[in-house]
Amino acid sequence: MTSLPTRNIGPFTVSAIGLGCMNLSHAYLPRPDAADAERLLRHALDVGVTFFDTAALYGFGANEELLGRTLMDRRDEFTLASKCVLGEIDGKRGLDGSPAAITRVLEDSLRRLKVDYIDLYYLHRLDPKVPIEESVGALVRGIEAGKIGAIGLSEMSAATLRRAHAVHPIAAMQTEYSPWVRNPEIAVLDACAELGTAFVAFSPLGRGLLAGNPNAANLLPGDIRGSMPRFQQPHLEANLQLIAQLKGLADQADCTAAQLCLAWLLAKGDHVVPIPGTTSIAHLDKDLATLSRAWPADLIAAVDDLFSFDAPSGPRYPREAQAQVDTETWAGEPLV
């Protein structure tokens, strides 16, 4: 196992770039077969990734099972994160932030992961029917029972973070953050820095589109991105033109567009930890190579200038998914 630069999430020291595991089992197509997914996970650990992120939602438990059978013989080498609240309800995606549901899903996650302890356990979404204090309280009881190490939130606002933090310190906030989704800069990124909460950036490569992944521009039927307005015409064509300019910046800097996006995120604060997902070992290695070079401030500033808040075309979520997030929106942001 090699070592990478590190950052802190609560009591844990993790590789400065982690691995989002969702697309090995869920949401995006094509998916790798089991052997390839297992090979990628083992390779990530071998090359120094020490932060792996999964959730009960992903594949309705299949992703947790994948990690459980693949990595747990090396359990002491990495920090494990999973999530509850957003998951399978009567065979469909749904929210249940009640303490009883959280307790039940935690037990299911422990079983699927083949562990008795999850380092970082997130509330995947805010359930508007349940006060955040009650949901956090259920996780505090998980800590007291020795089943959880630290508490995280996902896709929530600065105000909700502060309410949750008043109940128990919140180790991490996980939210979509990339050059084309800059909503965390409205309030929650600064709130995290103030409270000592790490900010975990999911989809740091624009769900593959910013990285130039051809699968992201030519989606297969059933790929969840097909429901997202930014991947639909006429928005897609406008966004591809914007991304071509990003590639131009990357070419001038002799790097990949993915590396430039990751460098941009890492420059946003020492408390920011991106978790790109990939099904390709080659892409993973290139992403991690971001950590091995210096990035000039003027190049990072050029990405800022290119991706103003209103530069991308279209909302980031369809109506139903947007209704399940608690994140801040900027004035004039298209939401439907």
Provide the annotated active-site residues.
58
Q: What is the DSSP letter of 300?
A: H
Task: Locate 105 and state its tokens.
Answer: 């899903």
Task: Locate 136 and state its tokens.
Answer: 């956090």
Three-state SS for 116? coil
Q: Beta-carbon neighbour count of residue 75 at 10 Å?
A: 13
In sequence order, which residues have a C-beta less than 8 Å from that of residue 78 and are 6 or more positions away?
14, 45, 49, 50, 51, 52, 71
Torsion of CA 287, 312, 152, 29, to 10 degrees: -60
Task: Locate 67 and state its tokens.
Answer: 């990690």
Contact 160, 136 (CB under 8 A): no
Single-letter residue type at 299: L
Single-letter residue type at 211: A
Q: What is the DSSP letter of 236?
A: H
> In this structure, what are the phi and psi dihedrals at residue 60, rounded to the nearest 5 degrees?
50, 50
